[in-house]
Structure 1
């Protein structure tokens, strides 16, 4: 069989368009634009690209973008002071600190400083606690985007066996919780899981988020399984190439021969992350302004 290619780029474009409409309606009601503040510390090239992309996407979605680019030697006290100012700024509805931070900074302390109603990355203890309790709150962007793709592809996830490979707080753990909330039966696997291929082989849904290039092979998968590949890895350049190609945690070519549906890398989960960030920002804006957002509007 040849797997259906799950087009995250197209889904994300539709989501961004819906956010843009809601953002325009919000501006008319609130008398201001919804605002997203992104904080970048240091000059990491990849992080600079990500921050630039988020800023452009925010403006394109009819929202205000506030970029704060700080020197790499910024102190913990100065960074926390900026977070405090953004927490108290009524024009800012969402705060995102670009990770990773330089080694001398305490990432968790910085994330903890963000007030929960502006935690559009869904990483504060309050946000993670509400997710674990099954309560409404901010959800990390990549897992929520992955769940959206799964529901679009499969409809109800109830009763399906799901394996999440990876247990990070950014993807693995929140992904597992979202799948549980959707009434799937969930196994979290990781680098120390015994007989990992056999466990994955039982799954109707496989979410790979472990950061190992093309680790998941054809014979790991159940026929017809739906595969969400969160990984993004750059291989070493082949002879004559200036840079290596991007691949996921799943061997796309092999997996496509047995899976029912699969996300490509690039073009699968990646575009969903920024789209969901925008979605979280407009949700936060409505909450912060005391404006109701119709259930199912986004």
Structure 2
């Protein structure tokens, strides 16, 4: 069963890790948000891609929830001592990935090929594909003016009030090689429980991806990021409130619209009408939880396909 996942960072990485426990790695493709990508002290950083790489290779830092395990911080300490920008923490091991990526991009190589090479070097059998090789930047109109995503998310810790979300450069972007084929060729397409507005919407803003989701013969199943009227993590709840959107599964279903066929929701939560629904405990604390949520999503997709 070939499965394609639309994903952001941490929550999506957990789902993909769960899929790798129940499916052969070669049958799993993750299409990853790159709207969070940015340049920091001259380096190209791809936070969501790197979260997938570290999580699927067993190198993620479980204590911090981001970055690499067994990290050291000599570079950051020196940068800080020299008066450099230290608001975005780059560890010594993490730094190597950004340096190599930046050098290869400067040589004209595509982010898709670079990411595939990193995945192979880290022993990952699943395909990790950026949504585009072009520059798309998530930006937020806030009460402090327009902010790039990382300045909103990391530097300002999601404090500013958000009025609108933009994806600069999306109109001119093209899906990365393999993205459309992965959607059309899948037996099931899953939408990870990532932030719909900041992690999934950037993918949909790239011309061709939303159309592929409408056209694919595969069932499309989303996993809701909401549990008991609360968001699992991150700024989802705050952002939805500021945008005047009810924190409910019906809002997630309405936001994705007609291109999803099913929704996995937590036990006891209200089910939106008009969709195939599966229920399970959707909070993914450990490997067993991840595998269970992944299997429930696959079972729902199979039942929709008949």
Range into which the TM-score falls when normalised by the shorter chain: under 0.3
Q: TM-score, normalised by structure 2?
A: 0.27
User: Which has more radius of gyration?
Assistant: 1
Q: TM-score, normalised by structure 1?
A: 0.27
- Considering Cα pairs closer than 8 Å and 6+ residues apart, tell me whether 1 or 2 has the greater RCO: 1
